């Protein structure tokens, strides 16, 4: 059996929550997009986005800690950070890894 050692400093939690991603795209245009959170740790997150976001970009991600964006009373985690990796996916979305600068619960 082949195993690898995880190099992450903090453990990740797999999850499936809706997210709102805000930032500036490669053309310099502000964007507001819906995404899906895939995993979360104390220092960062990995989300699926509908657009390419360049490494080094500053973005904000608001995570609705429920299964719907409609529930406004659900707790939210608001983050801002820097994109450290972007991966194209076969379905046309992009995996975006973000290292937090700041986060807060609402």
> How many other CB atoms are there within 10 angstroms of residue 70's CB atom?
9
Longest dimension (CA), the chain: 47
Task: Indicate the domain borders of the chain.
Answer: 13-105
Positions in the chain short of pLDDT 70: 1-10, 68-71
pLDDT at site 2: 40
3-state SS, 39-80, equals: EECCCEEEEEECCCCCCCCEEEEEEECCCCCCCCCCCEEEEE
pLDDT, tens only, 67-92: 766 667 788 999 999 999 999 999 99
pLDDT number for residue 25? 76
CATH homologous superfamily of 13-105: predicted glycosyltransferase like domains (2.40.10.220)
The answer to whether 38 touches 15, Cβ cutoff 8 Å, is yes
Q: Which residues lie across from 77 on neighbouring strands?
A: 63, 105
- What pairs with residue 31 in β-bridges? 23
């Amino acid at each position: 059996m082949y195993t690898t050692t995880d190099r992450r400093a903090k453990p990740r939690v797999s999850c499936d929550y809706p997210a709102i991603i805000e930032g500036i795209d490669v053309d310099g245009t502000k964007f507001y997009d819906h995404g899906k959170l895939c995993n979360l740790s104390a220092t960062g997150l990995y989300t699926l986005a509908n657009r390419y976001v360049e490494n080094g970009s500053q973005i904000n991600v608001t995570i609705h800690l429920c299964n719907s964006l409609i529930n406004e009373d659900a707790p939210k985690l608001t983050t801002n950070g820097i994109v450290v990796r972007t991966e194209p996916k076969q379905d046309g979305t992009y995996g975006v890894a973000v290292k937090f600068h700041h986060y807060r619960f609402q």
